[in-house]
Amino acid sequence: MSARTYSGTGVMLGRSLRHITRSMDTVITVTVMPIAMMLLFVYVFGGAIEAGTGDYANYLMPGILLIAIASGVAYTSYRLYNDLQSGIFERFHSMPIARSAALWGHVLTSVVSNAISVALIVLVGLLVGFRSSAGPLAWLAVAGILVLFTLALTWIAVIAGLSASSPDGASAFSYPIVFLPFVSSAFVPTDTMPAPVAAFAEHQPVTSIVDTIRDLFAQRPVGNDIWIALAWCTGVLVVAYAIATAVYRRKIA
């Protein structure tokens, strides 16, 4: 990236962040739903679920964080769609900034807003019993995986925002992604599921990501799960980025 790209991206990031601060309801909405789900599972369903661990809040936390991120990236798609419809991209392209800066502004705003949501959820988790013995390096590893996961999903959101024909269509892409943690090891061990469901759960990306974060929080060896998780996140990120940039070039040509 050139100096002009960095400069333009900084300007676009500042613009998007100002929009976030002026409408904090988006961050609140994204945060409240996973928190409500966490409270529901911990206090209502937790006593009936056998997860094979001492505290169900500890078992539950990684999946809740992924659901929060999957919900949050939908707003990136929605904001990008609105920018396209308003014609502001044409104004950006008449300015001396790199054309990719507008996209990167939305993407980095997604990372920042989702980081705020994740931090708030962890704080509430501490109040309901979540505890971690992880050291600073393990926490940094968790943060790195969550950022990579956010980037991968956000570039999928960019594709949806650029391709959608309605505001609802722009954010609807997130529904299947939000559903994925429910068919993974996020809420119950996969060996408690019927064989066909367990086979899917064990070979989809959320399970390896959840298991890696859970092991890092508990200071257990992560084994091969971390490499599978990183491979999934990196692979989705690279493919989604390539498709998003191709769609963007075609859209603004």
pLDDT digits (tens, 9 = 90+) for 80-112: 887 777 666 666 666 656 666 777 888 888 898
Residue range 238-242: mean pLDDT, rounded: 95
In the block, which residue shows the tokens 């939305």? 106
CA 3 to each of CA 12, 29, 125, 151, 207: distance values in angstroms, whole numbers, following the listed order: 14, 36, 41, 22, 39
pLDDT band at 171 (very low <50, low <70, confident <90, very high): confident
The pLDDT tens digits of the residues spanning 15-37 come to: 666 666 666 666 677 788 888 88
Cα 108–Cα 140–Cα 124 angle in degrees, nearest 5: 80
Helix (H, G, I), strand (E, B), or coil: what is residue 123?
helix
Nearest-CA neighbor of 202 among 192, 212, 190? 190
**What is the spatial distance between Cα 30 and Cα 153, in angstroms, rounded to a whole number?**
15
The type of residue at 106 is: H
**What is the spatial distance between Cα 149 and Cα 232, in angstroms, rounded to a whole number?**
9
**What is the spatial distance between Cα 75 and Cα 68, in angstroms, rounded to a whole number?**
12
Q: Domain segments of the chain: what residues?
A: 3-252
CA torsion sign for 217, 222, 224, 230 is positive
pLDDT the model gives residue 242: 94
Residue range 224-241: mean pLDDT, rounded: 94
Residues sharing a CB contact under 8 Å with residue 74, sequence separation 6 or more, in sequence order: 157, 170, 171, 173, 174
- Does the pLDDT of residue 151 top 90, yes or no? yes
CA 47 to each of CA 44, 83, 172, 194: distance values in angstroms, whole numbers, following the listed order: 7, 46, 33, 21
Residue range 39-56: mean pLDDT, rounded: 71
31 or 66: which carries more pLDDT confidence? 66
pLDDT the model gives residue 40: 86
Helix (H, G, I), strand (E, B), or coil: what is residue 193?
coil
pLDDT the model gives residue 47: 61
- Does the pLDDT of residue 253 top 60, yes or no? no
